[in-house]
Structure 1
Amino acid sequence: MSGASGAPLGSAVVEEARPRPARRRDGPLQRFMRHRLAVFGAAVIALLALACAIGPLLLPFTDTEIDIMQRFAPPFSGVHLLGTDPLGRDILARILMAGRISLSVGFAAMVISMLIGITVGLVAGYYGGWLGTVLMRFVDAMLCFPSIFLLLAVSSLVGPAVGSIIVLIAITSWMEVARIVEAQIRALKARDFAVAAEALGASDARVMLRELLPNAIAPIVVAATLNVAHAILAESYISFLGYGIQPPTPSWGNMLDNAQSYLTSAPWLAIFPGAAITLAVTSFNVIGDGLRDALDPRSGGR
């Protein structure tokens, strides 16, 4: 009887002693894919970019083609899927062409603002001292000015060219990036790997670019995504107020500006560009949330 009862006990001891396979930790991609809103936002941006890239080539109308006989055609009536504007131009063609402009402005302004912000934050965080203090006080001073007022003031002086708008948006949106990078670099430079690199005689540039910056990449990627949304919204603001990209070049902002006089008689003129702005900005924001959860190991893959 005791032998019969001892066999299962021995098996249990063997099972407990047997090493269990380590649980595999999910990588950033797996954590991002579990964030359904972020995946949906990424799909929306991909489809929107694809539509803006090839859509104007497939439509039977261009964004500048005028047809006076088709003025104010309502949506889903005839060949104009989203209707026409006061000059008879196809709204869908203009939305897609405006998307090219607005998305290009957003990405280009993001790249420039990230380069400025990363450079300032990297130098301030690594060197510290009086140089870091001066740079970060300058960042604080820039943040004291509302960016939209600064954009309007400067854009009225330099003109409404697309290149000028990109640069203006970039120079009013790099400060938060600089703050993020400075805080990350200041914390990382005291870590063992950075101290060891300095002890081995690595140059300042090598320590900053090869050791510190790659370890601060997660919040930088998130900030870049959110900066695209900010740039698209900023371009829409100033174009809506008449200081940004000017007709006949379409942008989502100046399409809204042109629709102000027809909000009651032809509401689709404002609905569709407004929906495009909302969709793009919201999608980039939820992508940023998903990237934050995916790249932060403390998030637990929420």
Structure 2
Amino acid sequence: MRPDTANDLAAFLRDLHPSTPVLPVGVGSNLIVRDGGVPGVVVRLPKAMAKVSVQDGRVRAGAGAMGITVASAARDAGIAGLEFLRGIPGTVGGAVRMNAGAYARDVSEILVEATVVTREGSVEIWPAEKLGFTYRHSDLPAGAVVVEAVFSGTPGEPAVIGAEMDRIAAEREASQPLRSRTGGSTFKNPDGHKAWALIDAAGCRGLTRGDAQVSEKHCNFLLNLGAASSAEIEALGEEVRDRVRAHSGVTLEWEIQRVGEYLPARLRDGAGEGGPDTGILHQPLPRPLPQAGGEQ
């Protein structure tokens, strides 16, 4: 469903049966959707909830806004410290939920407060401290939806801020498979390690399963080469985890969020193997449930 406003979403959730799962989805980055689909309701915020403004040295952003939009608004206003958002290819809502980060910074360092619609249908303003941020994690409950966030930085020169954003963009282009079908960084960096280095050392660079591949350019990215099945994507990720564990003794933790249900084996077209079935990023989401009087 696509709410018109935060209050619209709150009213919908209040009327929704408490046992119905709710999944907010931005642009689908950092997300694997399993072949069996997502049960319950998928919430997609409209463009009206993606506006960005600056007031009193703070950036207020709708949760549907992209990270680059927020970073650009901060640059134009002479607010430094938000440049790293240029390197996060997702929306504000997802960035807050997972404490997204890049280039030695993360959301917990710049967030002042977030407006949250709880699963019970209450609109609340949560200070950053309430979100319980840790590495790539927040304590935001399942089914709660971030609808707005306020960020702060420090005074800076727009030209200097812009130069740093350009550096980040160039570094991403040089080191990551940005023009490939991928969900982004697949595994979290374990303490004292880089996930990509562990994956490379375990001999996984370029590893394939069907049309799924570990990127040769940056091996913490899994690619869909064109027709990878859901089973192939997640199974490849699990094979990487097994190889890294066997080689270095480190257990990699998934960073990409995996959602939805496995497709029963009898429904897989010619798939003779068991194991996990997932679809990455570009798989279609289920048709959103309608909201009475609202946009479908």
Give the strand-richer structure, 1 or 2: 2
- Shorter chain as denominator, the TM-score bin is under 0.3
Query: Highest Rg: 1 or 2?
Result: 1
Scaled by the length of structure 2, the TM-score of the pair is: 0.23
